Amino acid sequence: MSAKIIDGKAIAEQMRTEIKTQAQELKSKHGITPGLAVVLVGEDPASQVYVRMKGKACAEAEFFSDEHKLPAETSEADLLELVAKLNADDKIHGILVQLPLPKRIDESKVLLAIDPAKDVDGFHPTNVGKMMVGQETFLPCTPHGVVQMLIRSGVEIPGKHVVIVGRSNIVGRPLMNMLSQKNDRANATVTCVHTRTRNMTEITRQADILIAAAGRPKMVTADMVKDGVVVIDVGVNRVDDPTAKRGYRLVGDVDFEAVKEKAAAISPVPGGVGPMTITMLLYNTITSVKTKLGIE
Ligand code: GUN
């Protein structure tokens, strides 16, 4: 058996078309262009790539994109001042501060300074709390993208055993929460395994749906999954490859070639979760505008 490919790129493109139509409607009916501010501190190469992709996605969806590239030595006070300015700016409906921040800057202080109504990353503790108790709020983009990929490729979630590999604040932990919520799009039995888990393979082999978000190249091997599993690979790891033009290539957290022989469906890297994350960011920015206007 070879798995069905869960094509994140195609799902993302379909959603971006819907989002662009909504942006055009907000403009024609309400005279508002959705505005997204992206703040990057320093020169982390991966972050630079993400920020560039966000700018491109904004342009394609006809959003207003406001990019702030600050030097690595920017002070916490200066960054907080910029966040305050963006909070007060009517043209801005979403604010994203790219993580990780330089070590000198207190990340939690910066996230706390973002107006929860513009927190399109869903990282502000107020929004994390709302998500936790199942209230409507901005859902963090990568986990929300994973859930959309499952739903839009027709994967039944209710009653299934979902095993999540990794417990980060950005992916693993919010996914545990979202998929265990009491609603028709979730209702899963969720287990999270991590670096301190004993007998990891015993647990991952029970997964009906396995989500890999550990940040370790090819750590999920074929012996760790059962036949017919659905696999979503959140990992984006750079590995050296002298034959590649850039000197490296991207691999996921899953040994794709081996696992696809056992899986019923699997998402690739690249072309899986990556394009979905930015799509959900655009989606949250549209939601922010609609909430501000008090429309559906
Ligand atoms: N760094 C890695 N993923 C993310 C994300 O989803 N949002 C932000 N702000 N930074 C990140």
Q: CA nearest 207: which of 178, 174, 179?
A: 179
Q: What CATH architecture does domain 141-275 belong to?
A: 3-Layer(aba) Sandwich (3.40)
41 - beta bridge partners?
70
Using the structure block, give the residue that is written with the tokens 């094509």. Answer: 7
Domain 33-115 matches domain 141-275 at the CATH topology level: yes
Nearest-CA residue for ligand 1 atom 8 is 98
- pLDDT, residue 104, reads 94
**Reported pTM:** 0.96
C-alpha count within 13 angstroms, C-beta hemisphere, residue 71: 3
Nearest-CA residue for ligand 1 atom 2 is 99
Residue 91 is encoded by which pair of tokens? Answer: 């043209």
98 Cα to the center of ligand 1, angstroms: 5
Full strand arrangement of the beta sheet holding 209-212 = 4-5, 265-266, 230-233, 209-212, 161-165, 189-193
Residue numbers annotated as active site = 54, 98, 121
| Ligand 1 closest atom vs CA 96 | 9
93 Cα to the center of ligand 1, angstroms: 17
Check whether 296 has a pLDDT greater than 90.
Answer: no
Residues with CB under 6 A from ligand 1: 96-99, 121, 141-142, 170, 277
Q: What digits encode the pLDDT tens for the residues 43-53?
A: 999 899 999 99
Residues across the chain: 296
Check whether 2 has a pLDDT greater than 90.
Answer: no
29 Cα to the center of ligand 1, angstroms: 32
Domain assignments of the chain as residue spans, ordered by start = 33-115, 141-275
Average pLDDT of the segment spanning 93-102: 97
Nearest-CA residue for ligand 1 atom 1 is 99
List phi, psi (to 5°) of 158: -55, 130
Residue 113 is encoded by which pair of tokens? Answer: 């300074």
- CATH of region 33-115, choose from 3.40.50.1460, 3.40.50.10860, 3.40.718.10, 3.30.70.1560: 3.40.50.10860
